[in-house]
């Protein structure tokens, strides 16, 4: 089990770091700048978000996931939105995330409200972006795939400081549930079914929106995967054009799950996501976390792990130890 939990963490960081240089660039512009991304790259000057970042560094997706884990460890793995908000705000100050174009609009608005002593509720019940989903993957390691109702309630507790809509919570539930099934080495169809079930359970806690359904779009993505089984480039293009790759949870989450379902191998998935266009680091973080959960850290090239460890001052093994010791004992 340790290998699969480490695979989730390293996979999240790999997809994030590989997609960092192309974050929020169009598919066409990525091709113009890089030709094709085939390994870790520095962020180009025109990147609108990952400013001055160098090859192998992960972005706010993985950073916030680790803040969530720190917050859980601080409170014996009981989600506390005050602790989570406090730690996210401290992280934002430490990284200058408020003034840089790092925080997503939903998190930024909610955290600013908390800073000002105001109720973040008016912002969290309108949050339809992917901030809750992008940082949730490690939480899936805490739950057996038979405990999805507990997982859904836990996802609410972890996410509600910044996101509390059906689509944002449901999207986070999809990613966490997929990881939960993947670390148990379920089949890829079973992993996608867990994601769909996770959506229903978690979305029920959120404020109703009229967003497109990530669950319905996942089914479309799976159909596209079968249609383009022998043409990976056509599949990626179809995800970009049909599902969408913006920061909306209704696009980024099913896009990530679709990419994981198609590519399956962590390295191949990370490169495909990096060249996808749009919110590449976030889609990569979610997708490759699921691939890594399924393959284990042993399925990720050792040279990539070396780069990730050298480029980011994080002890992934310590986080994995904590997740494993609490697996099945929370919620």
Q: What pLDDT is attached to residue 116?
A: 85
Residue written as token pair 């989450």: 253
Q: 52 labelled as ligand-binding?
A: no
Q: 8 labelled as ligand-binding?
A: no
Q: What pLDDT is attached to residue 69?
A: 98
Q: What pLDDT is attached to residue 162?
A: 96
Give the domain 2-326 fold. ADP-ribosylglycohydrolase fold (1.10.4080)
Q: What pLDDT is attached to residue 106?
A: 84
Q: What pLDDT is attached to residue 225?
A: 98
In angstroms, the CA 99 to CA 54 distance is 20
Q: What pLDDT is attached to residue 37?
A: 98
- The pair of structure tokens assigned to 269 is 């998935």
- The pair of structure tokens assigned to 261 is 């379902």
Q: What pLDDT is attached to residue 96?
A: 86
**What's this model's pTM, rounded to 2 decimal places?**
0.97
Q: 282 labelled as ligand-binding?
A: yes
Q: 281 labelled as ligand-binding?
A: yes
Q: 59 labelled as ligand-binding?
A: yes
Question: Is 214 in contact with 249 (CB distance < 8 Å)?
Answer: yes
Q: 279 labelled as ligand-binding?
A: yes
Q: What pLDDT is attached to residue 261?
A: 98
Q: Report the chain (331 residues): mean pLDDT per 10 consecutive residues.
A: 98 98 96 98 89 94 98 97 95 86 83 87 94 98 98 98 97 98 98 98 98 98 98 98 98 98 98 98 98 98 98 97 96 79
SS3 label, residue 199: helix
Q: What pLDDT is attached to residue 155?
A: 98
Sign of CA dihedral 66, 71, 75, 80: negative
Sign of CA dihedral 102, 106, 110, 112: positive
């Amino acid at each position: 089990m340790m290998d699969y939990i480490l695979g989730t963490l390293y996979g999240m960081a790999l997809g994030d770091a590989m997609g960092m240089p192309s974050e929020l660039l169009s598919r066409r512009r990525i091709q113009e700048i890089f030709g094709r991304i085939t390994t870790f790259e520095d962020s180009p000057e025109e990147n609108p978000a990952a400013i001055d970042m160098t090859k192998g560094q992960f972005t706010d997706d993985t950073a916030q996931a680790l803040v969530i884990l720190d917050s859980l460890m601080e409170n014996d793995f009981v989600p506390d939105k005050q602790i989570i908000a406090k730690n996210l705000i401290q992280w934002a100050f430490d990284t200058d995330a408020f003034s840089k174009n790092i925080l997503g609009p939903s998190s930024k608005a909610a955290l600013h409200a908390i800073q000002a002593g105001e109720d973040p509720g008016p912002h969290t019940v309108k949050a339809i972006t992917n901030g809750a989903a992008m940082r949730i993957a490690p939480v899936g390691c805490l739950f057996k795939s038979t405990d999805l109702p507990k997982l859904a309630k836990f996802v609410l507790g972890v996410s509600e400081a910044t996101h509390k809509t059906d689509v944002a919570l449901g999207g986070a539930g999809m990613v966490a549930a997929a990881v939960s099934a993947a670390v148990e080495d379920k089949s890829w169809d079973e992993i996608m079914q867990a994601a769909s079930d996770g959506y229903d359970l978690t979305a029920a806690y959120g404020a109703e929106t009229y967003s497109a359904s990530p669950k319905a779009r996942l089914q479309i993505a799976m159909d596209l995967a079968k249609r383009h089984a022998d043409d990976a480039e056509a599949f990626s293009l179809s995800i970009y054009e049909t599902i969408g790759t913006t920061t909306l949870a209704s696009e980024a989450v099913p896009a990530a799950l679709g990419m994981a379902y198609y590519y399956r191998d962590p390295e191949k998935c990370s490169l495909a996501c990096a060249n996808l266009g749009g919110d590449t680091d976030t889609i990569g973080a979610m997708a490759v976390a699921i691939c890594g959960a399924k393959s284990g850290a042993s399925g990720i090239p050792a040279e990539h792990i070396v780069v990730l460890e050298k480029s980011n001052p994080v002890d992934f093994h310590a986080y994995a130890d904590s997740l494993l010791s609490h697996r099945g004992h929370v919620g």
